[in-house]
Amino acid sequence: MAPTLRTPTERTCERCGREEVWDGDAGTWRLAETDGERAVGSPYCIHEWDINGSFVPFEDDHPATA
Ligand SMILES: [Zn+2]
């Protein structure tokens, strides 16, 4: 099999539950729809995205030691 380009296509906010999907044509994230319902989440949330996929660029669970 050819190596797969691993591009995140979905992401979910860990804080408010907002879901977005990657629109490759538009080159932007847009709101996901599930069964006609849009998981908008909170407009006041500073979204913390949990991107579906196998790569994690960094983890911020660990306290940074400078
Ligand atoms: Zn959020």
Q: How confident is the model over 45-59, as pLDDT tens digits?
A: 999 998 865 555 555
Residues 10-66 pLDDT 10s: 899 999 999 999 898 999 999 998 788 888 999 899 999 988 655 555 555 555 555
Is 26 contained in some domain? yes
Residue 53 CA to its chain's centroid (Å): 9
Measured in Å, residue 1 CA sits from the centre of ligand 1 at 36
Residue 63 forms part of a structural domain:
no
For residue 5, tell me if it sits in a domain: no
Count how many residues are written for the chain. Answer: 66
Q: What angle do CA 10, 56, 42 make, to 5 degrees?
A: 45
User: Is 1 inside any structural domain?
Assistant: no
Residue 66 placed within a domain: no
Q: Does 18 fall in a domain?
A: yes
Q: Whole-prediction pTM value? A: 0.63
Contact 53, 6 (CB under 8 A): yes
Number of domains in the chain: 1
- Whether residue 58 is contained in a domain is answered as no
Going from the Cα of 58 to the center of ligand 1, the distance in angstroms, rounded, reads 19
Residue 23 falls inside a structural domain: yes
By residue range, what is the domain housing residue 39? 10-51
Residues having C-beta closer than 5 Å to ion ligand 1: 13, 15-16, 18, 41, 45, 47
